[in-house]
Amino acid sequence: MTIEEFQSITGKGVKAKVNNVMYYVGSPNLFEELHQSIESDRKQKITEMQTQGKTVMVLGTEEEILSLIAVADEMRESSKEVISKLNNIGIETVMLTGDNKRTATAIGKQVGVSDIKADLLPEDKLNFIKKLRSKHQNVAMVGDGVNDAPALAASTVGVAMGGAGTDTALETADIALMSDDLSKLPYTIKLSRKALVIIKQNITFSLAIKLVALLLVMPGWLTLWIAIFADMGATLLVTLNSLRLLKVKE
Protein backbone atom coordinates (compact mmCIF):
# COMPACT_ATOMS: atom_id res chain seq x y z
CA MET A 1 0.00 0.00 0.00
CA THR A 2 1.43 3.36 -1.05
CA ILE A 3 0.46 6.54 0.78
CA GLU A 4 1.14 9.78 -1.09
CA GLU A 5 0.46 13.50 -0.73
CA PHE A 6 -0.25 13.30 3.00
CA GLN A 7 -1.40 16.69 4.26
CA SER A 8 -2.74 18.05 7.54
CA ILE A 9 -5.82 20.29 7.24
CA THR A 10 -5.44 22.61 10.24
CA GLY A 11 -8.22 22.20 12.77
CA LYS A 12 -10.22 19.88 10.49
CA GLY A 13 -8.33 16.65 9.78
CA VAL A 14 -5.91 15.04 7.35
CA LYS A 15 -5.91 13.78 3.79
CA ALA A 16 -3.74 11.44 1.73
CA LYS A 17 -3.76 9.41 -1.46
CA VAL A 18 -3.96 5.63 -1.10
CA ASN A 19 -3.73 3.65 -4.33
CA ASN A 20 -4.40 6.87 -6.27
CA VAL A 21 -7.61 7.59 -4.32
CA MET A 22 -7.74 10.66 -2.03
CA TYR A 23 -9.02 9.76 1.44
CA TYR A 24 -9.97 12.18 4.20
CA VAL A 25 -10.13 11.67 7.97
CA GLY A 26 -11.52 14.56 9.95
CA SER A 27 -14.40 16.32 11.62
CA PRO A 28 -17.98 16.20 10.33
CA ASN A 29 -17.54 19.88 9.36
CA LEU A 30 -14.79 18.86 6.94
CA PHE A 31 -17.14 16.47 5.13
CA GLU A 32 -19.96 19.00 5.11
CA GLU A 33 -17.57 21.25 3.18
CA LEU A 34 -16.54 18.40 0.85
CA HIS A 35 -20.05 17.04 0.19
CA GLN A 36 -22.08 20.22 0.89
CA SER A 37 -24.20 18.11 3.30
CA ILE A 38 -24.25 14.83 5.25
CA GLU A 39 -27.09 12.29 4.96
CA SER A 40 -29.75 12.76 7.67
CA ASP A 41 -29.37 9.26 9.20
CA ARG A 42 -25.59 9.64 9.51
CA LYS A 43 -25.97 13.18 10.84
CA GLN A 44 -28.39 11.88 13.47
CA LYS A 45 -25.91 9.17 14.47
CA ILE A 46 -23.10 11.75 14.71
CA THR A 47 -25.31 14.01 16.87
CA GLU A 48 -26.21 11.07 19.14
CA MET A 49 -22.55 10.16 19.74
CA GLN A 50 -21.54 13.80 20.27
CA THR A 51 -24.29 14.24 22.88
CA GLN A 52 -22.71 11.30 24.75
CA GLY A 53 -19.48 13.32 25.02
CA LYS A 54 -17.68 11.52 22.19
CA THR A 55 -15.60 13.14 19.45
CA VAL A 56 -16.67 11.84 16.04
CA MET A 57 -14.18 11.49 13.18
CA VAL A 58 -15.29 10.68 9.66
CA LEU A 59 -13.40 8.56 7.12
CA GLY A 60 -14.25 8.96 3.48
CA THR A 61 -13.47 10.25 0.03
CA GLU A 62 -14.67 13.26 -1.93
CA GLU A 63 -17.67 11.19 -3.11
CA GLU A 64 -18.80 9.19 -0.03
CA ILE A 65 -18.49 8.62 3.71
CA LEU A 66 -17.04 5.20 4.48
CA SER A 67 -16.96 5.09 8.27
CA LEU A 68 -17.60 6.96 11.51
CA ILE A 69 -15.07 6.71 14.33
CA ALA A 70 -16.05 7.86 17.83
CA VAL A 71 -13.49 8.43 20.56
CA ALA A 72 -13.83 9.87 24.05
CA ASP A 73 -11.28 11.30 26.43
CA GLU A 74 -11.38 9.75 29.86
CA MET A 75 -12.09 12.52 32.34
CA ARG A 76 -9.64 12.60 35.23
CA GLU A 77 -11.18 11.82 38.61
CA SER A 78 -9.59 14.96 40.04
CA SER A 79 -10.88 17.34 37.34
CA LYS A 80 -14.26 18.15 38.93
CA GLU A 81 -12.67 18.77 42.32
CA VAL A 82 -9.93 20.98 40.80
CA ILE A 83 -12.45 23.13 38.89
CA SER A 84 -14.59 23.44 42.02
CA LYS A 85 -11.59 24.65 44.05
CA LEU A 86 -10.62 27.14 41.33
CA ASN A 87 -14.15 28.53 41.20
CA ASN A 88 -14.24 28.77 45.02
CA ILE A 89 -11.08 30.90 45.13
CA GLY A 90 -12.49 33.36 42.63
CA ILE A 91 -11.00 32.00 39.39
CA GLU A 92 -13.25 32.16 36.33
CA THR A 93 -12.77 28.89 34.44
CA VAL A 94 -13.28 28.67 30.68
CA MET A 95 -13.02 25.51 28.57
CA LEU A 96 -11.45 26.08 25.13
CA THR A 97 -11.67 23.09 22.80
CA GLY A 98 -11.63 22.15 19.16
CA ASP A 99 -14.34 19.57 19.80
CA ASN A 100 -17.90 20.25 18.68
CA LYS A 101 -20.32 22.09 20.95
CA ARG A 102 -22.34 19.01 21.96
CA THR A 103 -19.28 17.03 23.10
CA ALA A 104 -17.78 20.07 24.83
CA THR A 105 -21.05 20.83 26.65
CA ALA A 106 -21.39 17.23 27.85
CA ILE A 107 -17.84 17.20 29.26
CA GLY A 108 -17.94 20.79 30.51
CA LYS A 109 -21.10 20.22 32.53
CA GLN A 110 -19.58 17.14 34.16
CA VAL A 111 -16.48 19.09 35.15
CA GLY A 112 -18.33 22.25 36.20
CA VAL A 113 -16.49 24.94 34.23
CA SER A 114 -17.99 28.45 34.20
CA ASP A 115 -17.97 28.89 30.40
CA ILE A 116 -17.54 26.59 27.40
CA LYS A 117 -16.14 27.59 24.00
CA ALA A 118 -16.15 24.86 21.34
CA ASP A 119 -15.33 24.35 17.65
CA LEU A 120 -12.18 26.43 18.07
CA LEU A 121 -9.20 26.42 15.72
CA PRO A 122 -5.74 27.29 17.17
CA GLU A 123 -6.14 30.92 16.07
CA ASP A 124 -9.58 31.04 17.72
CA LYS A 125 -8.06 29.97 21.04
CA LEU A 126 -5.39 32.64 20.64
CA ASN A 127 -7.95 35.35 19.88
CA PHE A 128 -10.11 34.31 22.83
CA ILE A 129 -7.14 34.51 25.23
CA LYS A 130 -6.38 38.00 23.89
CA LYS A 131 -10.02 38.95 24.43
CA LEU A 132 -9.89 37.68 28.01
CA ARG A 133 -6.68 39.63 28.67
CA SER A 134 -8.40 42.83 27.54
CA LYS A 135 -11.14 42.20 30.11
CA HIS A 136 -9.09 40.77 32.99
CA GLN A 137 -5.76 41.75 34.48
CA ASN A 138 -4.32 38.23 34.45
CA VAL A 139 -5.22 35.16 32.41
CA ALA A 140 -3.70 31.69 32.87
CA MET A 141 -3.93 29.03 30.15
CA VAL A 142 -3.54 25.28 30.76
CA GLY A 143 -2.85 23.08 27.73
CA ASP A 144 -0.80 20.18 26.42
CA GLY A 145 -1.07 20.15 22.63
CA VAL A 146 0.49 21.85 19.63
CA ASN A 147 -2.81 23.65 19.03
CA ASP A 148 -2.58 25.18 22.51
CA ALA A 149 0.88 26.70 22.02
CA PRO A 150 -0.21 30.09 20.56
CA ALA A 151 -2.75 30.58 23.36
CA LEU A 152 -0.19 29.55 25.98
CA ALA A 153 2.21 32.17 24.65
CA ALA A 154 -0.47 34.89 24.66
CA SER A 155 -1.62 34.23 28.24
CA THR A 156 -0.18 35.94 31.31
CA VAL A 157 0.89 32.54 32.64
CA GLY A 158 1.04 29.41 30.47
CA VAL A 159 0.81 26.02 32.20
CA ALA A 160 1.71 22.82 30.31
CA MET A 161 1.58 19.17 31.23
CA GLY A 162 5.12 17.92 31.76
CA GLY A 163 4.46 14.26 30.94
CA ALA A 164 1.58 14.30 28.49
CA GLY A 165 2.35 17.66 26.91
CA THR A 166 3.93 18.10 23.49
CA ASP A 167 7.42 19.62 23.16
CA THR A 168 5.91 22.74 21.58
CA ALA A 169 3.55 23.30 24.52
CA LEU A 170 6.33 22.72 27.06
CA GLU A 171 8.68 25.17 25.36
CA THR A 172 5.97 27.85 25.16
CA ALA A 173 4.59 27.53 28.71
CA ASP A 174 5.88 29.35 31.78
CA ILE A 175 5.08 26.47 34.16
CA ALA A 176 5.17 22.71 33.56
CA LEU A 177 3.27 20.31 35.83
CA MET A 178 5.78 17.45 35.74
CA SER A 179 3.42 14.92 37.31
CA ASP A 180 0.47 16.03 35.12
CA ASP A 181 -1.42 16.51 38.39
CA LEU A 182 -4.14 19.16 37.94
CA SER A 183 -4.78 19.21 41.68
CA LYS A 184 -1.57 21.26 42.02
CA LEU A 185 -3.19 24.20 40.22
CA PRO A 186 -5.30 25.56 43.13
CA TYR A 187 -2.32 25.05 45.47
CA THR A 188 -0.01 26.89 43.06
CA ILE A 189 -2.39 29.87 42.92
CA LYS A 190 -2.84 29.86 46.69
CA LEU A 191 0.93 29.70 47.28
CA SER A 192 1.61 32.43 44.71
CA ARG A 193 -0.91 34.79 46.27
CA LYS A 194 0.55 34.22 49.73
CA ALA A 195 4.11 34.70 48.42
CA LEU A 196 3.13 38.02 46.82
CA VAL A 197 1.61 39.26 50.11
CA ILE A 198 4.76 38.29 52.03
CA ILE A 199 7.04 39.95 49.47
CA LYS A 200 5.12 43.20 49.90
CA GLN A 201 5.29 42.85 53.69
CA ASN A 202 9.04 42.23 53.60
CA ILE A 203 9.66 45.28 51.43
CA THR A 204 7.55 47.38 53.80
CA PHE A 205 9.39 46.06 56.89
CA SER A 206 12.80 46.67 55.34
CA LEU A 207 11.99 50.21 54.23
CA ALA A 208 10.45 51.04 57.60
CA ILE A 209 13.52 49.89 59.53
CA LYS A 210 15.84 51.78 57.17
CA LEU A 211 13.70 54.91 57.58
CA VAL A 212 13.85 54.66 61.39
CA ALA A 213 17.65 54.26 61.22
CA LEU A 214 17.86 57.29 58.91
CA LEU A 215 15.79 59.40 61.32
CA LEU A 216 18.09 58.42 64.19
CA VAL A 217 21.05 59.79 62.22
CA MET A 218 19.64 63.35 62.35
CA PRO A 219 20.00 63.92 66.11
CA GLY A 220 23.13 61.75 66.23
CA TRP A 221 21.45 58.91 68.13
CA LEU A 222 22.44 56.21 65.64
CA THR A 223 25.36 54.23 67.02
CA LEU A 224 27.27 51.41 65.33
CA TRP A 225 25.51 48.81 67.46
CA ILE A 226 22.06 50.19 66.69
CA ALA A 227 22.94 50.20 62.95
CA ILE A 228 24.10 46.56 63.14
CA PHE A 229 20.99 45.63 65.12
CA ALA A 230 18.74 47.36 62.56
CA ASP A 231 20.46 45.60 59.65
CA MET A 232 20.44 42.15 61.28
CA GLY A 233 16.95 42.73 62.61
CA ALA A 234 15.63 43.47 59.13
CA THR A 235 17.30 40.33 57.75
CA LEU A 236 15.88 38.13 60.51
CA LEU A 237 12.43 39.71 60.25
CA VAL A 238 12.02 39.14 56.51
CA THR A 239 13.49 35.62 56.78
CA LEU A 240 11.13 34.58 59.57
CA ASN A 241 8.20 36.18 57.78
CA SER A 242 9.07 34.25 54.59
CA LEU A 243 9.09 30.97 56.52
CA ARG A 244 5.34 31.40 56.93
CA LEU A 245 5.03 30.05 53.36
CA LEU A 246 5.87 26.62 54.78
CA LYS A 247 2.47 26.64 56.47
CA VAL A 248 0.59 26.90 53.18
CA LYS A 249 -1.03 23.53 52.57
CA GLU A 250 -2.88 22.10 49.60
Domain boundary among 137, 155, 185: 185
Domain boundary among 71, 91, 119: 71
My answer on whether 65 and 129 are in the same domain is no
My answer on whether 87 and 176 are in the same domain is yes
Pair type for strands 94-96 and 175-177: unpaired
My answer on whether 175 and 84 are in the same domain is yes
Reported pTM: 0.64
Domain boundary among 44, 71, 98: 71
Distance CA(30)–CA(61), nearest Å, equals: 11
- What's the confidence (pLDDT) of residue 197? 94
CATH of the domain at 126: 3.40.50.1000
What are the CA-CA distances from residue 231 to residues 199, 203, 214, 226, 241 (Å)? 18, 14, 12, 9, 16
CATH of the domain at 13: 3.40.1110.10
My answer on whether 148 and 208 are in the same domain is no
Provide the number of structural domains found in the chain: 3
User: How high is the mean pLDDT in each 10-residue block of the chain (250 residues)?
Assistant: 82 87 90 84 88 86 89 78 87 86 83 87 89 88 82 88 68 77 83 92 87 77 73 84 84
Q: 167 lies in which domain range?
A: 79-185
